[in-house]
């Protein structure tokens, strides 16, 4: 009989902004640490490699950010490539499934994607998901994903999938994954506050699944001292020592909507909780969004899972400009 229970980990950690190799090294160490704490499913934050482009919310759009964007493209992750090889090796060493957010680009491209990668305990890259709709100022940095990267990964502990940050507010995207039988929902995010925790609880209750919401956290002084334009990237930098750029908001929720761990804020730490597939099955006896509580005779969802040409970041004169 397949195992029904395991431990999941939500790894809340700081990144090394715009330093891909340092972020990979830190991710590898954190994956190992989570495994030593018993986790067989390890989820790391959104855009962890090489970190959140924080300038998009501190600077006027298109004003002096070209140097950072150029560096971001340089430090982005080509999939597959050396970074995925290193992360896959870490997953294999940890004997764990690993979910982690990266900035992705094509081998010969400069459009970036907010991508979540899934690795198996054998070290294989199992799947990737490109965020469908970047939020607000994110559209000046990331292109749009398409329906070809909405994976669900089979594990011995249940089916693993999820959405990134505000994608979790997209009802049809959620329903599509519910219809694929997701049991453990990974939600790497940058969203903060109690309202986001409530969203994670809603997804858990609606999908009758375990939800692992994971944030990065970063203090101002952790921005690398050798970063070009460091003093411009965060307002009032010189007086911001100790200030939190990203406070974190990680949480793990059960299929009944009850919080199992967290929310964790203003510290780097690993949250863990046990997940039990039997609890998912039992919860769906009362409500199964894509099963007995769905009315396919009334409602139908069509999903285009074909890959589409790359979509460039938003531009005020070309809001939907295909490359």
Q: What's phi and psi for 289, nearest 5 deg?
A: -60, -35
Q: Could you write out the DSSP letters of every residue in 175-241?
A: HHHHHTT--EEEEE----SHHHHHHHHHHHHHHTSEEEEE---EEGGGS-TTSTTHHHHSTTGGG-T
Helix (H, G, I), strand (E, B) or coil at 93: helix
Phi-psi region at 223: left, alpha or beta (left = phi > 0; alpha = psi -120 to 50):
beta
Q: Single out the residue of 205, 198, 202 nearest to residue 262, CA to CA.
A: 198
Cβ neighbours, 10 Å, residue 55? 22
d(CA 103, CA 166): 17
Do the strands 210-214 and 184-188 form a parallel or antiparallel pair, or are they unpaired?
parallel
Question: Active-site residues: which are they?
Answer: 46, 131, 165
């Amino acid at each position: 009989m397949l195992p029904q229970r395991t431990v999941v980990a939500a790894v809340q950690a700081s990144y090394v902004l715009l330093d891909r190799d340092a972020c990979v090294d830190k991710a590898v160490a954190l994956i190992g640490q989570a495994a030593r704490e018993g986790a067989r499913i390890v989820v790391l934050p959104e855009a962890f490699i090489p970190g959140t482009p924080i300038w998009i919310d501190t600077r006027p759009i298109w004003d002096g950010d070209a140097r950072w964007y150029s560096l971001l493209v340089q430090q982005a992750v080509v999939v597959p490539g050396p970074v995925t090889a290193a992360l896959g090796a870490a997953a294999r060493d940890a004997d764990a499934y690993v979910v982690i957010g990266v900035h992705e680009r094509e081998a010969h491209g400069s459009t970036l994607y907010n991508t979540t990668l899934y690795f198996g305990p054998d070290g294989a890259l199992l799947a990737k998901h490109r965020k469908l709709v970047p939020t607000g100022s994110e559209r000046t940095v990331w292109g749009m994903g398409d329906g070809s990267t909405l994976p669900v990964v089979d594990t011995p502990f249940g089916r693993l999938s999820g959405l990134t940050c505000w994608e979790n507010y997209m009802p049809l995207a959620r329903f599509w994954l519910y219809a694929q039988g997701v049991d453990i929902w990974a939600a790497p995010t940058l969203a903060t506050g109690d309202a986001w925790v409530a969203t994670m609880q809603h997804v858990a209750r609606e999908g009758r699944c375990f939800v692992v919401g994971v944030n990065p956290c970063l203090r101002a002084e952790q921005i690398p001292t050798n970063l070009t334009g460091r003093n411009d990237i965060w307002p009032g930098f010189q007086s911001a020592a100790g200030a939190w750029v990203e406070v974190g908001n990680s949480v793990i929720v059960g299929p009944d909507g009850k919080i199992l761990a967290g929310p964790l804020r203003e510290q780097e730490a690993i949250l863990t909780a046990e997940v039990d597939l039997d609890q998912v099955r039992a919860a769906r006896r009362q409500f199964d969004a894509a099963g007995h509580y769905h009315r396919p005779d009334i409602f139908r969802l069509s999903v285009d899972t074909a890959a589409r040409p790359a979509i460039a970041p938003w531009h005020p004169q070309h809001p939907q400009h295909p490359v």
